[in-house]
Amino acid sequence: MGLFDFAADIGKKVFGIGDANAADQIKENIEANNPGVSDLTVSLDDEICTVGGTCETHEAKEKVVLMTGNMKGVGSVNGEGLTAPEPVAEPEYYVIESGDTLWGVAAKFLGNGSKYPEIFEANREVIEDPDKIFVGQKIRIPR
């Protein structure tokens, strides 16, 4: 899991562009949602955020990267410093497009729109409300 690209001009706003303590604010946001990472380190250089730490599961590693990248002002995430067990299945990601709903995403990937809670639960740290997703947001598709 190397460098992941995100849309820097969209996402959750937790820091102002150029904030000296932006990395600290990103770290606080991740730790507040506790996706299963310890010894978390975060640095931000321009729009590239580098994260490190020990993840309990590969899913936790994916969530740290997604939480970081789905913040306004972060254009790329380098997750090379995150250690985790090998994934059970290859992860699948999806970028929300105009007109998407979690119901529609669930129908497309899980075969049934009523399974949207599975997508919401897999992305709880990234999606705060299943009715509030935004274009360009990158999410995990559960397996």
DSSP 84-114: -PPPSS--EEEE--TT--HHHHHHHHHS-GG
7 vs 26, more confident: 26
Give the distance from CA 130 to its chain's centroid.
Answer: 15
Residue 45: exposure state from Cβ atoms within 10 A (0-12, 13-18, ≥19): exposed
Confidence of residue 13 (pLDDT cuts 50, 70, 90): confident
Number of alpha carbons in the 13 Å side-chain half-sphere of residue 22: 22
| pLDDT at residue 84 in the model | 95
Question: Do the Cβ atoms of 138 and 6 come closer than 8 Å?
Answer: yes
Closest CA to 138 of 74, 82, 81, 90: 74
The residue with greater pLDDT, 135 or 18, is: 135
| Among 125, 120, 119, residue whose Cα is nearest residue 32 | 125
pLDDT grade, residue 18 (50/70/90)? low
Mean pLDDT of the chain: 90
d(CA 96, CA 98): 7
pLDDT above 90 for 27 = yes
- Name all domains of the chain by residue range, CATH numbers in brackets: 3-83 (no CATH), 92-141 (3.10.350.10)
Q: pTM here?
A: 0.82
Q: Is 117 helix (H, G, I), strand (E, B) or coil?
A: helix
**pLDDT tens-digit map of 64-112:** 999 999 988 899 999 999 999 988 888 799 999 999 999 999 999 999 9
Asked whether residue 39 carries a pLDDT value surpassing 90, the answer given is yes
